[in-house]
Structure 1
Amino acid sequence: MSLKSFDIGHGIGKGQFGRVYIARKKISGYIVALKVLSIGELIKVNAERQLRREVEIQMNLRHPNILRLLGYFQDDIYFVLILEYAAKGELYKQLVKSGRLKEKKASRYIAQTARALSYIYQKHVIHRGIKPENLLIDLNNEIKIADFG
């Protein structure tokens, strides 16, 4: 697999080492998010081990409220994570846009987040960045915990 396997769309996020793009797999038409990380930047700040840990953790988690890592590949310049696409984006952006959530929706999001956290703690994983920017929302208004780096 390579970047040529995808039709890459617009950027949907930005991180410390790269960007996230919406993309469509050319053969299947499946919509994903591609987290494209610069290998040079990762090496420069000695973050290869951190990335390896993120991949190992996320490949072994299977829960409806955790963003799925579908696969990964690399070339000479980039390391690419193929992620489930959460179409409604970050909870943070929804909060900024609407100011606050209705009680019913907020309680659903809290329950979903709590179930996902309980699951990862049972797997002996601690997510050190639970914040609205790392809680994504899919088309069905389900929370997806992201960014296990």
Structure 2
Amino acid sequence: MEVSKVRNEYSLSQFKVEGLLGSGAYGVVQKCVNTETGQVFAMKIIEKNKVIEKSMEEQVKREVLTQLKVKHRNLVRLHYYFEDSSQIYCLLEYADRGQLFAYLKTTGAQPEPMAARFFLDTGSGVAYLHQLRVAHRDLKPENVLLFGEELTAKVGDFGWCAEVASEKRLTFCGTLDYVSPEMLFGEPHDQGVDLWALGVLLFELLTGKAPFSMPSKKETMDKICAVDFTFDVRISPGAEELIRGLLLRESSRRMPLQQVLRHKWCDGFEAPVELAVGDLFFES
């Protein structure tokens, strides 16, 4: 299941495993160190037999090729990948401050300036993907990673990403608390699912919980489909306007992402609001 041809910059023998960072349906993510340079990476190891069992070859290929292509300061960078007969190894940026999910679990609801920074970092990365006509389709705090003392947020895990340039998609994917109504209704979807997820994320950043979360899956699904949410804590009018502009039943009515990133609520917060998306590329 060869993904692509890339020039030989690294070899597996250069890396020493230092611990397990996480595991998933198709493999594990390990912390590793380049023994020649001391640089730390996250190594995602995908088991080919598990991918083949689930008929996910094309999805995994899309994930790797998309992450090799994207170069943006708010997207986790895939530096290189290796492949042998049984596994694919993806050499990723190491998030030294872990997942946003773990950070929120420890700290709870965020002050608005910090919530704005996390939200705008995430939105900026998503805006770059949308410029490439790619939908992430699985935005959630577990897939937003934090870097450095300033806690820069970067979107990772491109396992459900898809190009939506010519036609909408029908595959059901994502995590229930963040899934959009059109997904639950089985309707075709596009980048609008990411706008919905950004609205859910901002709500959770500011209140400490997802807006539609209920004890049972059916109750959660019913609330999502009805767009039934309330604010149990006081938030500023600007933040509420943003959330209500993103959490709309009709995808086409959701606030455009460039308008989101320049919303008045963002004024005064330390985040890349005055952006032209193309300015945020890494140099190859």
Q: Which bracket does the TM-score occupy, shorter chain normalised?
A: over 0.9
Deviations for 1:20-71, whole angstroms, at most 9, x for unmatched residues? 1110112222110000111111111111211110111111111100000001
Match in the other structure for 1:96 = 105
The percent of aligned pairs where both chains have the same amino acid is 34
- Local SS of the residue matching 2:135: coil
Measured on the aligned residues, the alpha-carbon RMSD in Å equals 1.2
* Rounded Cα–Cα distance in structure 2 between residues aligned with 1:66 and 1:105: 19
Partner of 2:16: 7
Match of 1:133 among 142, 167, 175: 142
The offset of 1:102, in angstroms, is 2.2
The answer to whether the 8 Å contact 1:2/1:74 transfers is no
Residue 91 of structure 1 contacts residue 135 of structure 1 at CA under 8 Å; is this kept in 2?
A: yes
Shift of 1:2: 4.6
Q: Distance in 2 between matches of 1:100 and 1:3?
A: 41
Q: Does 1:145 align with 2:155?
A: yes
Deviates more, 1:110-119 or 1:80-89: 110-119
Q: Which has the higher helix share?
A: 2
Largest Rg, 1 or 2? 2
- Amino acid paired to 1:131: K
1:111 is paired with a residue whose SS is helix
Structure 1: which amino acid aligns with 2:67? Q
- Residue 102 of structure 1 aligns with an amino acid whose one-letter code is P
Runs of 4+ displaced beyond 2 Å? 1-5
Maintained 8 Å contact 1:2/1:75:
no
Which residue number corresponds to residue 206 of structure 2? none
Between 1:61-70 and 1:1-10, the stretch displaced more is: 1-10
Letter in 1 for 2:28: R
Work out which of the residue numbers 39, 64, 67 in structure 2 matches 1:55.
Answer: 64
Please point out which of 58, 70, 81 is paired with 1:72. 81
Residue 36 of structure 1, aligned match among 22, 45, 57: 45
Give the structure with the larger strand fraction. Answer: 1
Aligned letter for 1:38?
E
The answer to whether 1:108 aligns with 2:121 is no
Matched AA of 1:34: M
**Matches of 2:108 and 2:76 in 1, distance apart?**
25
- Structure 1 unaligned residues grouped into runs of 5+: none
Cα deviation for residue 105 of structure 1 reads: 1.0
Q: Which residue of 1 aligns with 2:31?
A: 22
- Aligned amino acid, residue 30 of structure 2: Y
Tell me the distance in 2 between the aligned counterparts of 1:14 and 1:102.
31
Of 30-39 and 99-108, more deviation after overlay is shown by 99-108
SS at 2:60 equivalent? helix
